[in-house]
Amino acid sequence: MEIFVQQTINALSLGGIYALLALGLAVVFSIVRLINFAHGEVMTVTGYGIWFILLSGFPVGLAIAFGVVAAIAVSVSMERVAFRQMRGADVTTLLITSFAVSQIIQVLFQTGISARPVAVILPAWLTDSIMIGPVRVGMVSLLSIAVVLVSLVLLRLVLTRTVTGISMRAAAEDFAVVRLMGISANRIIATAFAISGALAGIAAVLWVASRGSVDPLMGAIPVLKAFIATVVGGLGSLGGAVVGGFVLGVVEVYLQAFLPEGALPYRDAIALSIIVGILVLRPEGLLPGVSTNRS
Amino acid sequence: MLEVASLKVRYGAIEAVRGLDLAVGKGELVALLGANGAGKSSTLAAISGLTPWSGDITFEGKSLKGLSPEAITRAGIGLVPEGRRIFAGLTVSENLLLGGAVHAAPVELRQRAAEMQDRFPILAERRHQKAGLMSGGEQQMLAIVRALMARPKLLLMDEPSLGLAPQVVEAVFDLIASLRSEGITILLVEQNVPMSLDIADHALVLAQGRLSVSGTTEEVSRSEAVRGAYLGLSA
């Protein structure tokens, strides 16, 4: 029972990180129909930002804040420099552009810092574990769950209580009509990228805290998982992205923990088979978005 | 207030509007009529900045050339789009708030929304409901009121009676007539020629992207082409 509780906490922690990343992808996709595979590199920027600030002798709080702000700045810059020029282009062109941005950032880190991982030394209290009753739980896992919950609540408040947030939800339904309300397309898209960057930054803080290192390819696998989560949840659906992230986290952690040893090499194959099974049963995803009306 | 000269709109090889001239004076209700594919909606799309065009469009003496849809809305032109295009996943209140979002501070915005809900009680009743769950007529009313939230100087209405039941169509035309009597300038695109001629000051009939008939509603009603093709009367 203890192991089950422990693994459930781990699953929620990992699923929460996937949920944040998937939500970041979904926020942008719902408005500009772009799957931004350079989203992973936004994570990497946060990782190196934290590493640099800690290396310079500043406290961990400042390092985290710097990392998240750097993620927002990079995400907004990506839109301004690369994606704005491609606005209105077909999905394939946008996809290739995002791969190009991703590759450029990876190479910049490989040549500018190192292709090898660099250690991010975090305070001991963050990497410790604590006992909750008979269950030993990592601080990072607990913090991850708390941070993910707070982030999701804050995002929900922004999307439902502010005019900018309501505009973004409306833009996901019908961008042309939102512009007819006099609302700036540039402002909505830049805000979507800023929110996406903030979510990637927060996810990166949790990811780095659990790994203790950062490397130029750090964001590649998580963004792939986040993409799978958005598809499972329902492409373009914000609620779906969160659900998809948690489903993926639970499937991964439970398979790792409870599969017989002989079956462990097939963990990823089994996980992906479960995902395929979900998509066969629900091709639109678990929580499909509102039907869109675009021009 | 609005002047359109030699307007052309193309979609690839197809020329939807072929050199249209029209003018809408302050406080007027002008009806732009014609069959499907005549170029009516393309004309409104051009004025709203939703589609590329050539020619001249000026609003209050300023050219709209090169302006984005949002800039045109901020200049004072509101559009009630064809097919209503309300935000189905948003509540009625949220739809209304967005309608005036860039024109008013949040407090004034909520005050305007409350005024509109007083005037249209059905919207007050449904304010927390998802707009997509409303009936077609209610959605059309929401689309019109959403455009009014910005207090536009000129209201463009694209086929507001399309797909509605006859009694709802009457209610929609009553609403348009009351807006006109309040002094709102309106350019109305419609296929319902008889009801449009009843409430408009001037009318233009388009056929294959060109102006076919224009004048006061009395003149247009007397036109043989209109009597035969749209009013079901023999010439």
> At B228, is the pLDDT very low, low, confident or very high (cuts 50, 70, 90)?
low
Cβ–Cβ < 8 Å for A26, A13: no
Cβ–Cβ < 8 Å for A166, B131: no
Q: Is the Cβ of B76 closer than 8 Å to some Cβ of chain A?
A: no
Q: Is the Cβ of B88 closer than 8 Å to some Cβ of chain A?
A: yes
Give residues 116 to 135 of B whose Cβ lies within 8 Å of A. 132
Q: Is the Cβ of B69 closer than 8 Å to some Cβ of chain A?
A: yes
Mutation site, A156, A180, A183, interface B, largest B CB count within 10 A: A180
Q: Please write down the HEC assignment for all residues of A6-75.
A: HHHHHHHHHHHHHHHHHHHHHHHHHHHCCCCCCHHHHHHHHHHHHHHHHHCCCCHHHHHHHHHHHHHHHH
Smallest CA–CA distance, residue A182 to chain B, in Å, is 4
**Quick one: closest CA in A to B51, which residue?**
A295
Q: Output the CA angle A34-A39-A41, nearest 5 degrees.
A: 140
Q: Is the Cβ of A88 closer than 8 Å to some Cβ of chain B?
A: no
**Rounded distance between C-alpha atoms, residue A10 and residue A16, angstroms:** 10
Quote the pLDDT of residue A293: 42
Cβ–Cβ < 8 Å for A205, A49: no
A180 with B73: Cβ contact below 8 A = yes
Please state which of the ranges A19-23, A204-208, B6-10, B32-36 shows the lowest mean pLDDT. B32-36
Quote the pLDDT of residue A290: 58
Q: Is the Cβ of A293 closer than 8 Å to some Cβ of chain B?
A: yes
Quote the pLDDT of residue B232: 57
pTM for the structure as a whole: 0.84
Q: What is the pLDDT of residues B62-105, one digit of tens each?
A: 999 999 999 999 999 999 999 889 999 999 999 999 998 877 77
The answer, yes or no, to whether residue B49 has pLDDT greater than 90, is yes
**Rounded distance between C-alpha atoms, residue B40 and residue A40, angstroms:** 47
Quote the pLDDT of residue A201: 96
* Residues of chain B contacting residue A84, judged by C-beta atoms under 8 Å apart: none
Helix (H/G/I), strand (E/B), else coil: B151: coil
Quote the pLDDT of residue A32: 86
Residue A45 token pair: 């920027």
Beta bridge partners of B155: B78, B186
pLDDT lower than 50: segments of chain A: 292-295
Quote the pLDDT of residue A124: 83
Q: What is the pLDDT of residues B104-134, one digit of tens each?
A: 777 888 888 888 888 888 888 999 999 999 9
Among B69, B78, B85, the residue with its CB nearest the CB of A174 is B85
CB pairs under 8 A between A and B: 74
**Rounded distance between C-alpha atoms, residue B16 and residue B10, angstroms:** 6
Quote the pLDDT of residue B235: 47
A182 with B85: Cβ contact below 8 A = no
Helix (H/G/I), strand (E/B), else coil: B212: strand
* Residues of chain B contacting residue A178, judged by C-beta atoms under 8 Å apart: 98
Half-sphere exposure of residue B229: CA atoms within 13 angstroms, side-chain side: 15
Among A169, A181, A185, the residue with its CB nearest the CB of B99 is A181
DSSP labels, B79-133: EE-TT----TTSBHHHHHHHHTTTTS-HHHHHHHHHHHHHHSHHHHHTTTSBGGG
**Quick one: closest CA in A to B149, which residue?**
A181
B73 with A166: Cβ contact below 8 A = no
Q: Is the Cβ of A131 closer than 8 Å to some Cβ of chain B?
A: no
Q: For residue B163, what is the enclosing H or E element?
A: none
Residue A266 token pair: 């097939």
Tell me the residue type at B37. Answer: G
A185 with B132: Cβ contact below 8 A = no
Which of the pair, A33 or B49, is modelled with greater confidence? B49
CA-to-CA dists, residue A154 to A150, A151, A251, A289, B206, angstroms: 6, 5, 27, 20, 52
A170 with B87: Cβ contact below 8 A = yes
Quote the pLDDT of residue B231: 59
Q: Is B82 left (phi over 0), alpha (psi -120 to 50) or beta?
A: beta
For A106-133, letters b (16+ CB in 10 Å) and e give beebeeeeeeeeeebebeeeeeeeeeee
Alpha carbon dihedral A127, A130, A132, A137, in 10-degree steps, equals: 30
* Residues of chain A contacting residue B74, judged by C-beta atoms under 8 Å apart: 182
Q: How do beta strands B210-216 and B202-207 pair?
A: antiparallel
ipTM, 2 dp: 0.84
The answer, yes or no, to whether residue B48 has pLDDT greater than 60, is yes
Residue A294 token pair: 């675009």
